[in-house]
Amino acid sequence: MTLDEMQNVWSEMTEKLENQKQLTDTLIMEMTAQKFRSKIGKISTFESAGAVICFIAAIFLAVNFEKLDTWYLSASGVVVIGYLIFVPFLVLRSIYKMKGINISGNTYKQSLIDFAKRRKHFLLLQRTAIILNFVLLVLILPVSSKIFKDKDLFVDNADLWYWYIPVMLLFLIPFSKWGYTSYKNMTASAEELIRDLQTDPS
Amino acid sequence: MTTNSKNEYLTTKESEFVKVIKDNEGIIYKIARMYTKGSDNMNDLYQDIVYQLWKYFDTFKGESKRSTWIYRVSLNTAITQWRKEKRKGQKVDIEHLFLQKEDDYDDEFENRLKLVYAHIKKLDPVEKGLMLLLLEGKKYAEIAEITGFSASNVGTRISRIKKKLKEQIIKDHDHDTR
């Protein structure tokens, strides 16, 4: 197939579509009545569900915070609650911003730049979250153990740390490495797109 | 206020919108098909574009041509679908509405069309948008107005796209004949 042939096929399709005119008034207006979907669809379901779980966990920890009766358990509790609130909040904010591009006013170029920049920001956030997950997984164990079983793992079961951290790292490192590399590659391609688009002097 | 010219239940704004969509349904179809894989995703994007056009219908100020605005909104909607997730809520069944319903529609044409789309889909988002407008027969000045690139940059980029497509076509041809 040559470029001319592509052009011919395209013109033929345009002509066929022009002759068809399939949409009815009702069908078109039904498509516009999607405000419900649009409102829910503003933020991705997966991230929203994750955020709700994190917020519930944060509230639960806050309610039971008095059980964390040593300075190190309190400090761990503060870090875990902070993580459970701020990380999902920042991720959701980032997604929301990505969806908030001016579809009507922007040119194609501007939308591509805006989208690539916001995507880059989102990916950087995801990369940071991967690293922070390690901290969370270390701290959540003593905090939850104290709240649920009234057991201070730093004192009562110090041996646990010798196997818990290596086992956790064994599972987490390959997964995180894969996730981190994927996000890194996607960020790089977003950066490349921004660079390319910004070379046009217009 | 309602009008009886199109449909007694539609307001004047709705009647005007319906006319705009009917006049440009082919453009929306072509863009929706270009930026998606599979008919389900295409239908979703098609409806999303119609929804966005309706949402921003009042913002069209007539400074540019109506078709320019439609290309802009449609292309912007297509590139900002950041995840190919199943969309929620009300869904209108528009499957099999386009092309295939035509009486003289043949498989041979569909295969050639699939090939055209396959080549274009291999391009990056910037190139895809420019190629679409080129195939639509737009002049560089109009492509510049829709995309926001300068006319000279449009020319440079299109030359590059043509070269890339040519190489791609030759490569595919060599692969098929092997």
Q: Which residues of B touch A18 (CB under 8 A)?
A: 26
CB contact under 8 A, B82 and A18: no
Query: Is A98's CB within 8 Å of B109's CB?
Result: no
Mean pLDDT calculated for residue range A128-148 = 86
Ordered alpha helix ranges (H), chain B: 12-34, 39-55, 66-79, 107-121, 125-135, 140-147, 151-177
Say if residue A114's pLDDT is above 90.
no
Helices (H), A21-159: 25-32, 35-41, 45-63, 71-99, 108-149
| Tokens standing for residue B78 | 């297509």
pLDDT over 60 at B83, yes or no = no
Q: What is the mean pLDDT of residues B94-119?
A: 72
How far is residue A172's CA from residue A133's CA, in Å, rounded to a whole number?
A: 9
Give dist(CA A53, CA A58) in Å, integer. 9
Q: Flag if A27 and B56 touch (Cβ within 8 Å).
A: no
Chain A residues within 8 A of B86 when measuring between CB atoms:
none
Distance of CA A182 to the CA centre of its chain: 13
Q: Is A44 on the interface with B (CB under 8 A)?
A: yes
Domain B1-103 belongs to what architecture? Orthogonal Bundle (1.10)
Residue B96, pLDDT > 70, answer no
What's the full length of chain B, in residues? 178
Stretch 84-123 of chain A: residues touching chain B, C-beta under 8 Å: 95, 98-99, 101, 103-112, 115, 119
Pick the residue from chain A with its C-alpha nearest to B44. A31
Instruction: Report residue B11: phi and psi, to 5°.
Output: -75, 170
Q: Where are the domains of chain B?
A: 1-103, 106-178
Spatial distance between the Cα atoms of B134 and A86, rounded to a whole number of angstroms: 46
pLDDT for the residue numbered A34: 59
Nearest to B169 by CA among A92, A1, A129, A156: A1
Q: Determine the angle formed by the axes of helices A108-149 and B125-135, rounding to 10 degrees.
A: 140
- Judged against a pLDDT cut of 50, whether residue B6 lies above it is answered with no
pLDDT at position B2: 43
Instruction: Name the token pair of A77.
Output: 């509790």
Architecture of domain B106-178 in CATH? Answer: Orthogonal Bundle (1.10)
Q: What's residue A95's pLDDT?
A: 77
Q: Is A170 on the interface with B (CB under 8 A)?
A: no
Confidence of residue A83 (pLDDT cuts 50, 70, 90): very high
Q: Which of residues 2-21 of A touch B (CB under 8 A)?
A: 2-3, 5-7, 9-14, 16-21
Identify all chain A residues contacting B69, using CB atoms and an 8 Å cutoff: 104
Q: Closest approach of chain A CAs to the CA of B110, in angstroms? A: 9
With cut-offs at 50, 70 and 90, classify the pLDDT of residue A59: very high
- With an 8 Å Cβ cutoff, are A108 and B22 in contact? no
Round the CA-based radius of gyration of chain A to a whole number and report it: 25
**Which residue from A105, A101, A109 is spatially nearest to A201, judged by alpha carbons?**
A109
Q: How do residues A85-109 score in pLDDT, each as one tens digit?
A: 999 898 888 877 777 778 888 888 8
Instruction: Please indicate whether, in this complex, the C-beta atoms of B72 and A104 are within 8 angstroms of each other.
Output: yes
- Quick: pLDDT tens for A16-26: 888 777 777 77
According to DSSP, residue A67 is labeled G
pLDDT of residue A49: 86
Chain B residues whose beta carbon lies within 8 Å of the beta carbon of residue A1:
112, 115-116, 119, 169
Q: Which residue of B29, B75, B112 is in closest CB contact with A17?
A: B29
Q: Compute CA distances A125 → A90, A111, B87, B129, B170, whole Å.
A: 8, 21, 25, 29, 41
